[in-house]
C-alpha cells in the first residue's frame, strides 16, 4: 500500500546513537505493518459501501439536526451525499439537460466490463462511491452503455434511505459516549477534523462506524455520490431498478467490522488516510484496476484484518452472485457496484469466471463498444 513519507528534521542534537536508534524504532512502529492498516477504513468505505456515504439528508426531524447533515449535504438537488468543510463548487443537477464540461479524466478507460449473452449484452461497472464527479470525470461510454440496458442493479437503494432510520442505526446506546470510548486526546483530534460540520453534542452519540464515515466525507472533495447519480439516471430512463442488499444489511456489517480500535487508528492516521484516498482516486480515474487493487488488497492489511475483508467484500460478493448471474443470463442489465468488489481473488469478476461467465474489459474508442481480453 502506498505511503505518505514524513520528513523528520534532524539537527546536531540527534547525533546521539541512542537517540537515532530510538527514532528508527519509532519510525518502524509508525511505518511498519500497522501503518497501512490504519489507513484502511476510509479507503474501503469509498469502494465498498454506497449507502452509508449517500443516505443522510439535510431535512432535520422535528427541528433537530440529523447527525452529520451539514457534513454530508451536497449541492445536488437531492440534498443527499457527501461534503467536506471546504466547498469546491456545485454539481450539475443529476438527470438535467444542462451540458456538463468534461474533466480530462473523462478520456480514461473506465472500470467497465462487457458480458455478452444470447439475450443481450450486460455491463459490470466499478464505482467510486465518493471522491469522483460522475458527470464530469467518467468516460461518456459509461453513460452510453447504461442507456442501452433495460435493467439496473446496484448495491442498495441509496435514493430512498430514511434519515431517521439512518440516524437511529448510527447512534450509540444511551449509556455510551464516543468521547469516553476514544479518550480525551483522540476525541479532540476527531472534533478538530469534523467539528466544524458536526456539533460535538451530536458527535458524541456517533457509533464508531459513523464517525469513520464522517471523517471520510471530510477527506475528499464534495459532490454527489456516484451511486446516487447512476440511480437517478437509471430511474429517469425508466429502467427496472434492482438492489443487492438492504440498508439493514449494511448497518449490520458496519456494527460487526468497524470497531473502536479501527476508528482510533483512522483518527491517528488521518493525514495518511487522505493521501491513501487521493491515491485511490487517481488510480480509479486513470482506469487502473491493478493500482487500485494494490492499494485496497495489501497482503499486510489482509493478514492483519482478515475479518474486515471477509465482511466487507467476500461474504457480500458471494451473496450477490445469484441475482447478478440471473440477470446477466437475462441480458441487457447494467450492474454498478463499488470497484473493490470487482477486484482480486473472490471479486465478482473472479467469481463470474468460475461460473463460466467471462467479462471483458471494454475498450475506449471502439465504435461497437468492443472489449479487450479479460483483465482484472
Reported as a single tens digit per residue, the pLDDT across 273-296 is 888 888 999 999 999 999 999 999
Supply the pTM of this predicted model: 0.75
Please give, one letter per residue, the 3-state secondary structure of the chain. CCCCCCCCCCCHHHCCHHHHHHHHHHHHHHHCHHHHHHCHHHHHHHHHCCCCCCCCECCCHHHCCCCCHHHHCCCCCCCECECCCCCCCCCCCCCCCCCCCCCHHHHCCCCEEEECCCCCCEEEEEECCCCCCHHHHCCHHHHHHHHHCCEEEECCCHHHCCHHHHHHHHECCCCCCHHHHHCHHHHHHHHHHHCCCCCHHHHCCECHHHHHHHHHHHHCCCECCHHHHHHHHHHHCCCEEEECCCHHHHHHHHHHHCCHHHHHHHHHCHHHHHHHHHHHHHHHHHCCHHHHHHHHCCHHHHHHCHHHHHHHHHHHHHHHHHHHHHHHHHCCEEEEEEHHHCCCCCCHHHHHHHCCCCCEEECCCCCCCCECCCCC
- pLDDT higher than 60, residue 13: no
Reported as a single tens digit per residue, the pLDDT across 223-273 is 788 999 999 999 999 999 999 998 788 888 888 888 898 899 889 988 888
Amino acid at each position: 500500500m502506498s505511503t505518505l513519507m514524513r520528513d523528520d528534521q534532524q539537527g546536531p542534537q540527534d547525533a546521539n546513537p541512542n537517540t537515532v536508534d530510538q527514532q528508527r524504532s519509532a519510525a518502524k512502529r509508525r511505518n511498519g505493518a500497522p501503518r497501512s492498516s490504519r489507513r484502511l477504513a476510509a479507503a474501503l468505505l469509498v469502494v465498498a459501501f454506497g449507502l452509508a456515504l449517500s443516505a443522510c439528508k439535510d431535512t432535520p426531524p422535528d427541528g433537530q439536526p440529523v447527525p452529520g447533515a451539514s457534513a454530508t449535504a451536497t449541492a445536488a438537488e437531492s440534498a443527499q451525499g457527501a461534503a467536506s468543510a471546504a466547498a469546491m463548487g456545485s454539481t450539475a443537477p443529476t438527470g438535467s439537460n444542462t451540458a456538463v464540461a468534461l474533466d480530462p479524466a473523462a478520456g480514461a478507460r473506465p472500470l467497465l466490463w462487457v458480458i455478452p449473452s444470447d439475450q443481450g449484452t450486460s455491463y459490470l461497472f466499478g464505482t467510486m462511491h465518493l471522491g469522483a464527479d460522475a458527470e464530469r470525470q467518467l468516460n461518456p461510454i459509461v453513460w452510453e452503455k447504461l442507456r442501452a440496458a433495460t435493467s439496473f442493479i446496484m448495491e442498495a437503494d441509496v435514493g430512498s434511505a430514511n434519515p431517521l432510520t439512518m440516524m437511529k442505526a448510527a447512534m450509540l446506546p444511551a449509556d455510551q459516549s464516543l468521547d469516553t470510548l476514544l479518550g480525551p486526546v483522540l476525541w479532540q483530534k476527531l472534533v478538530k477534523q469534523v467539528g466544524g460540520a458536526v456539533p460535538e453534542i451530536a458527535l458524541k452519540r456517533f457509533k464508531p462506524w459513523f464517525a469513520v464515515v464522517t471523517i471520510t466525507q471530510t477527506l475528499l472533495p464534495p459532490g454527489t455520490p456516484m451511486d446516487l447519480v447512476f440511480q437517478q439516471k437509471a430511474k429517469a430512463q425508466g429502467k427496472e431498478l434492482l438492489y443487492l442488499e438492504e440498508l439493514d444489511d449494511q448497518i449490520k456489517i458496519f456494527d460487526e467490522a468497524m470497531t473502536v480500535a479501527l476508528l482510533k487508528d483512522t483518527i491517528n492516521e488521518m493525514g495518511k488516510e487522505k493521501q491513501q484516498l487521493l491515491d485511490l482516486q487517481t488510480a480509479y480515474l486513470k482506469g487502473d484496476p491493478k493500482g487500485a487493487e494494490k492499494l485496497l488488497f495489501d497482503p499486510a492489511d489482509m493478514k492483519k484484518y482478515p475479518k474486515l475483508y471477509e465482511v466487507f467484500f467476500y461474504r457480500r460478493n458471494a451473496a450477490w452472485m445469484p441475482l447478478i448471474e440471473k440477470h446477466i443470463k437475462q441480458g441487457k442489465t447494467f450492474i454498478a457496484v463499488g470497484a473493490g468488489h470487482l477486484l482480486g481473488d473472490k471479486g465478482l469478476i473472479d467469481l463470474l469466471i468460475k461460473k463460466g461467465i467471462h467479462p471483458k474489459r471494454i475498450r475506449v474508442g471502439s465504435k461497437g463498444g468492443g472489449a479487450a481480453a479479460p483483465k482484472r
